[in-house]
Chains A and B, each alone.
Chain A
Amino acid sequence: MWLTRPFRERSTQLFLGILLAALATVTLLNLMLPAGHPLHVSTYTVTLLGKYLSYALLAVAVDLVWGYLGILSLGHGAFFALGGYAMGMYLMRQIGDRGTYGDPVLPDFMVFLDWEALPWYWLGFDMAWFAFLMVLLAPGLLALVFGFLAFRSRVTGVYLSIITQALTFALMLAFFRNEMGFGGNNGLTDFRELLGFDLRSDATRLGLFLATGIALALGYVLCRAIVASKLGRVSVATRDAEARTRFLGYRVERFQLFVFVVSAMLAGVAGALYVPQVGIINPSEFSPIFSIEIVLWVALGGRATLYGAVIGAILVNYAKTVFTGVMPDAWLFALGGLFVLVTVLLPKGIAGLLAYRLTPRRLKRKPAAQSSTPGEASA
């Protein structure tokens, strides 16, 4: 089965092992140790980690299209935000009549902007299954339509990057409009509960953290499976020589579309897990700068490795958390400097650094090792 293929890879086993061990450790340290204990992990930290993990999933999605398909999407924030909004709309509906104005159906922002009734696109979001479906479908459909148009007309390279940027920018402006019915600049906030669990309780927060971790694990395995399949090799072929791949008889645009849509859906899931943990979704997630930042996480971690994306996302965001607290006036210097140095000095990112340290040994031990090639792994 192509889906189970990654479980036989050493790198995936290692990744999953570390991830699951980390999840378990955090959970134990949070639950078992008393609050005053020096090793206790506070719920604040758990939520923070949960946020990093959702970013990591987003980075994996971006790495799938950028690293393996060669499509530099500067608009993946849009899919992330759409997933987030789908979740946010569900959470808003869960508030029910506990809002400030006590309206049983309309969210607060609609009440004071005089909406008479729920707009049609809000219908159904009171049902969890529908909302969760939309978490996948909304970004998926957008990616499908956009990708269909773009890949069909063979928009490539920088042109594609720029129009993905235009896409997310246009969406940001649209969602800023209060007439759109998504809460305008304030976005959606003041969430109460998810599937009946109180979002403010520590247990729910821990649960969300674990759910995000598991989603990351599953997302990683899915991406790994795609990458290790023949389809993954077609993607790499497309990345490196698109015309050649076409002459081999592959309908390149369909492969691009398929991977792009999968990636968009993963980004949507990441967004949906992000929103309940940070407690707000607003149009700034659509901002082109955010999308560029995601790409930077991937570049920093190491492109076309998947685990590099995870490392990059967690590292940059951790640095952000630390620096904005420790050196609030100067953290942009640090962040900017980090980006410059890594791109110039570590073209393959941190993963490249790790691989560099590992490769010589492996080559010495087993030249042209069969197990190291994806082609063989599939045999």
Chain B
Amino acid sequence: MIPSSVNRTSRWLAVPLLSAAVATPALSQEDPIKVGILHSLSGTMAISETVLKDTVEMLIEQQNAQGGLLGRELEAVVVDPASDWPLFAEKARELLAQEEVDVIFGNWTSVSRKSVLPVVEELNGLLFYPVQYEGEESSENVFYTGAAPNQQAIPAVNYLMNNVGVERWVLAGTDYVYPRTTNKILEAYLKDEFGVAEDDIMVNYTPFGHSDWQNIVSEIKEFGSEGKKTAVVSTINGDANVPFYRELGNQGIDAADIPVVAFSVGEQELTGIDTAPLVGHLAAWNYFMSVDTDANYDFIDAWIEYTGDEMAVTNDPMEAHYIGFNMWAEAVRKAGTTDVDAVKDAIIGVSVPNLSGGYAAMMPNHHITKPVLIGEIQDNGQFSIVWETPSTVAGDAWSDYLEGSRDLISDWRKPMECGNYNVVKGSCGGSEAQEEVASADE
């Protein structure tokens, strides 16, 4: 492994230089269209992200089977940022600067997106982000195909309030930005819209991978014995869910007493849980594997065939990639080129079918329209859909329920071209305008 002839430090320094130099060939028209995939294949997030990498690879395969795009073949460029946030930025730079990919599908966690964001903006790339997130962001170079809070959290709370009659709320989440923001929005929403008292809301944060839920579940039980219908809104992330639900089941909290509605638990997560004690707990998503449409069944069949696993499941972020990929392909066709600026302009307004029988359209704020579904967990690890919004909901980058962002809107069409336009001040509050002002002053 280590060539024994090398005994000078200089050789080691020279290696990366040479390899870097070799890896930058000029692109010609005959070259394939490069699609970067930036999902963790190792580390803590591999559990969620690996299937997304497979999804994009499958979509690329399907597209190539149909003759590619603009007569060119698509080629996947896969890198592993290894659940390491600085590495995400580095790998994004590698994809854009070294590999010169035309588009990136990637990221799961908020922090990885935040890490990649400056790179994508600096190098003018395209990033499709497929996961539900906290909002409060709208970048010119990022397309958010997952749900914003108003496409998941708020409808779910409406459902609990109106259809289940919940009066007391536990907002439990993992301590990071998505739960923090979502819970802040929900708290404000519950108080402003429904007049829920401070006493009737309990907020609780736990660290990543929290595994001992005894105390918290016991507290929730106590909180729920006040004689008012109580529900838990869970933004608990990934691995912490299994022990959480187990503890719920074992302490005898069933869905009829205190339902839990989760925003981060999908079919994928449920494959690791014995769902029998969880039947009836809820999740809010924009897609469930159990959606009864032909498009969905076809997608599932293709997925099972692709993975070779009869028991393979699909989930919401996979649908988001499905939508995002098709939108991007459509925009490339429309623009007739993979040029980032052209695709960015062309994609706004593009509408493609989703898997739940409707259409998803790209809005000027780089978010898409989605139906909101509430599902109850079944004992086979699937959700049965108990409620859905009558029509699709457009994603809102800036929440109406947060002090700082109430007045902000995002519109990337000309002439506004601003991700955080302040309607009260009538100016673009973000960096570009300020920078122009600043540089004009100098």
Contacts and interface: CB of A to CB of B under 8 A. Distances in A.
Interface of A: 15, 18-19, 21-22, 25-26, 29, 35-45, 47-49, 51-52, 97-103, 109, 111-114, 173, 176-178, 184-187, 189-192, 200, 278-280, 282, 284, 307, 310-311, 314-315, 318, 321-322, 324-325, 328-329, 331-332, 338, 341, 350, 353-354, 357-358
Interface of B: 1-2, 4, 7-10, 12-13, 15-17, 19-22, 24, 26, 41-42, 78-82, 84-87, 89-91, 93-94, 97-98, 109-111, 114-115, 117-119, 122, 136-137, 175-177, 180-181, 184, 205, 207-208, 402-405, 408, 419-420, 422, 429-431, 434-435
B17 A45 contact: yes
Contact of B89 (A176, A280, A314, A331): A280
Nearest to A111: B404
B99 to A, nearest CB: 9
A284 to B, nearest CB: 6
B2 A45 contact: no
B118 A191 contact: yes
B119 A176 contact: no
B92 to A, nearest CB: 10
A112 to B, nearest CB: 6
Given A36-B26, A322-B19, 4 more contacts: A22-B10, A40-B21, A185-B109, A325-B79
List the 10 closest A-B pairs by CB distance, nearest first. A328-B80, A185-B176, A45-B20, A278-B86, A44-B97, A102-B429, A22-B13, A324-B80, A98-B431, A280-B115
23 contacts: A18-B8, A22-B13, A41-B17, A48-B16, A98-B430, A100-B136, A111-B404, A112-B184, A173-B207, A176-B175, A178-B176, A185-B110, A185-B177, A189-B115, A190-B117, A278-B90, A280-B89, A282-B85, A314-B13, A315-B12, A325-B79, A331-B42, A357-B4
A187 B85 contact: yes
Contacts of B41: 328-329
B9 A307 contact: yes
A324 B91 contact: yes
Given A41-B17, A100-B420, A200-B118, A184 B89 contact: no
Contacts of A331: 42, 80, 82
Given A18-B10, A98-B435, A184 B404 contact: no
A177 B175 contact: yes
B17 A44 contact: no
B87 A324 contact: yes
B42 to A, nearest CB: 5
A164 B80 CA distance: 30
B435 to A, nearest CB: 7
Contacts of B111: 185-187, 280, 282
Given A15-B9, A102-B429, A189-B115, A51 B90 contact: yes
B21 A338 contact: no
A101 B15 CA distance: 44
Nearest to A334: B1
B434 A102 contact: yes
B431 to A, nearest CB: 4
Contacts of B87: 324
A190 B114 contact: yes
A201 B263 CA distance: 40
Given A45-B20, A185-B177, A318-B12, A280 B430 contact: no
Nearest to A187: B111
Contacts of A42: 20, 24, 97-98
A327 B1 CA distance: 16
Contacts of A39: 21
B16 A321 contact: yes
B435 A41 contact: no
A186 B118 CA distance: 14
Contacts of A49: 13, 16
Could you say which of B17, B26, B93, B435 has the most chain A C-beta atoms within 10 Å of its C-beta?
B17
Given A184-B177, A318-B15, A324-B87, A280 B114 contact: yes
Contacts of A35: 24
Contact of B429 (A22, A100, A280): A100
Contacts of B78: 328
B177 A280 contact: no
B7 to A, nearest CB: 5
Contacts of A99: 431
A44 B99 CA distance: 11
Contacts of B408: 101
Nearest to B429: A102
A177 B420 CA distance: 27
Given A100-B420, A187-B111, A338-B1, A280 B176 contact: no
B280 to A, nearest CB: 31
B122 to A, nearest CB: 5
Nearest to B110: A186
A96 to B, nearest CB: 8
A18 B10 CA distance: 6
Contact of A310 (B9, B90, B175, B434): B9
Given A186-B176, A324-B81, A357-B7, A44 B20 contact: yes
Contacts of A279: 86, 89, 115, 118-119
Contacts of A341: 1
B85 A44 contact: no
Contact of B403 (A114, A177, A192, A280): A114
Nearest to A44: B97
A26 B1 contact: no
A295 B207 CA distance: 27
A280 B136 contact: no
Contacts of B405: 101, 112
B21 A41 contact: yes
A100 B137 contact: yes
B22 to A, nearest CB: 7
A45 B78 CA distance: 19
Contact of B16 (A45, A109, A112, A190): A45
B2 A350 contact: yes
Contacts of B208: 176, 185
B100 to A, nearest CB: 11
Contacts of A338: 1
A186 B97 CA distance: 24
A18 B87 CA distance: 27
